[in-house]
């Protein structure tokens, strides 16, 4: 059985005003699935629907019982008056993470992202990149079964980007199913097992790179960007 099964007939912020429709896919253990599409295509709405954050949704989101889900949003969100350490302690309390597990999981992440010396500071004083790193730590500290990530590379320098890619690979090896929305298609092409192409609120195509190349009549030397452009713009507009 898949970790996650998504069947969204339609969803939106207002009744009878759908933003997305006919979105159907599954996420398996150890798999990295990339959601690609233009701005406003429906990527974030799809993610919010899966997380139960959309006011109106007609469909069914199913996951295996007792699985933990972590969400890494595009824009980091923190409590204004809490330090990073207090955020960590709060998540640990809510998720029932023991002190031993907390230390074993969180300390290496703080050291990797050079935030150990800043853990008692309020994230509101951090740079954009530091806030993104702090959010990554909070998302990964509970060793999730399913990790949902929205534009993870925004604000990260090349070193932090490589660290995040290494962490994503470690999570996959551990069996985590990862759903990642991104505009960075050259990176997605290298790390994702398969792709969901959302255009105008609909799932236009899905599959591995080779399957997308076949769907749009491309050869093996055409990139994910080439396929994306063909499937969204069309041959006549190229």
Q: Which of 89-105 are b and which e, b meaning 16 or more Cβ less than 10 Å from the residue's Cβ? A: eebbeeeebeeeebeeb
- Extract the tokens encoding 73: 């949003």
CA 117 to chain centre: 27
Q: How many CB atoms lie within 10 A of CB 39?
A: 7
Return the biggest CA–CA distance within the chain: 60
For residues 131-148, average pLDDT: 94
Q: What is the pLDDT of residues 75-124, one digit of tens each?
A: 999 999 999 999 999 999 998 999 998 999 999 999 999 999 999 999 99
Residues sharing a CB contact under 8 Å with residue 115, sequence separation 6 or more, in sequence order:
84, 130, 133, 134, 137
- Extract the tokens encoding 44: 């974030």
Q: What is the pLDDT of residues 56-81, one digit of tens each?
A: 999 999 999 889 999 999 899 999 99
Which domains does the chain possess?
4-67+145-237 (3.40.50.300), 79-143 (no CATH)
Note whether 18 and 35 are within 8 A (CB).
no
Query: No. of H helices and E strands in the chain?
Result: 8, 9
pLDDT value for 155: 80
Whether pTM > 0.85 for this model: the answer is yes
pLDDT greater than 60 at residue 235: no
Q: What is the pLDDT of residues 3-17, one digit of tens each?
A: 999 999 999 998 888
């Amino acid at each position: 059985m898949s970790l996650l099964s998504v069947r969204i007939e339609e969803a939106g912020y207002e009744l009878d005003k759908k933003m997305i429709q006919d979105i159907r896919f599954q996420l398996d253990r150890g798999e990295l699935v990339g959601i690609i599409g233009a701005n406003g295509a429906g990527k974030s709405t799809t993610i919010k629907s899966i997380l139960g954050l959309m006011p109106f949704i007609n469909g069914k989101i199913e996951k295996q019982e007792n699985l933990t889900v972590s969400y890494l949003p595009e824009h980091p969100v923190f409590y204004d008056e809490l330090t990073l350490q207090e955020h960590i302690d709060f998540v640990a309390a809510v998720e029932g993470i023991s002190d031993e597990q907390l230390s074993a999981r969180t300390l290496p992440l703080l050291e990797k992202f050079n935030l150990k010396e800043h853990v008692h500071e309020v994230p509101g004083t951090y740079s954009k990149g530091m806030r993104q790193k702090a959010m990554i730590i909070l998302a990964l500290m509970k060793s999730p079964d399913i990790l949902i990530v929205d534009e993870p590379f925004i604000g990260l320098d090349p070193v932090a980007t490589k660290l995040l890619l290494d962490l994503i690979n470690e999570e996959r090896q551990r069996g985590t199913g990862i759903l990642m929305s991104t505009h960075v298609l050259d990176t997605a092409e290298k790390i994702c097992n398969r792709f969901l192409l959302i255009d105008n609120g609909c799932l236009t195509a899905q599959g591995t790179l080779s399957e997308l190349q076949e769907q749009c009549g491309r050869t093996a030397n055409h990139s994910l960007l080439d396929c994306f452009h063909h499937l969204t713009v069309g041959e006549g507009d190229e």
